[in-house]
Amino acid sequence: MSVVKSPLSDADLKTVGNALQGALVDLVDLALVAKQVHWNVVGPRFRSVHLQLDEVVDTARLHSDTVAERASALGVSPDGRSATVASSSAIGTVPEGWINDEEAVQILVAALGAVITRMRERVDATGDPDPVSQDILITLTGELEKHAWMFQAESV
């Protein structure tokens, strides 16, 4: 049941709803993964990596709200529950315990890469049915790619 009447056709709403839901799941998990690594990073570059991780968390949290609210505006109920995130995210698991700064960087490079790949697919999928949602995903993907660049530069 939807309490909001969507301006999109049923077919377009399904495509866009799936894209927004997938983006939400990946963003919620990205924030959780980055925060887990943030709490456990150790090593000579601790401070810079620690602070950089919080920037990723801030980006993911800000955009997850934007994505969820866009879904709601279209009549799609967003689902950010832990079980949904755990079963649907593209991001791998984070090791338990302390994480060396070099490994922390590699974890974030991999996580961001997985999310960016799926975001670009969502950008393509939403272009025709809903340019407004596509614009949100384009902006988000640009910010994630900036974070990916910065973490990749840490690993050279």
| pLDDT over 70 (residue 1) | no
- Residue 129 has phi, psi (to 5 degrees) of -70, -30
Query: Mean of the per-residue pLDDT values for the chain?
Result: 95
Residues in the chain: 156
Inter-CA distances, 37 with 52, 73, 126, 129, 131, Å: 11, 33, 32, 37, 35
pLDDT band per the 50, 70, 90 thresholds, residue 74: very high
- Give pTM, 2 decimals: 0.95
pLDDT band per the 50, 70, 90 thresholds, residue 2: low
pLDDT band per the 50, 70, 90 thresholds, residue 152: very high
Q: Which residue has the tokens 């924030």?
A: 31
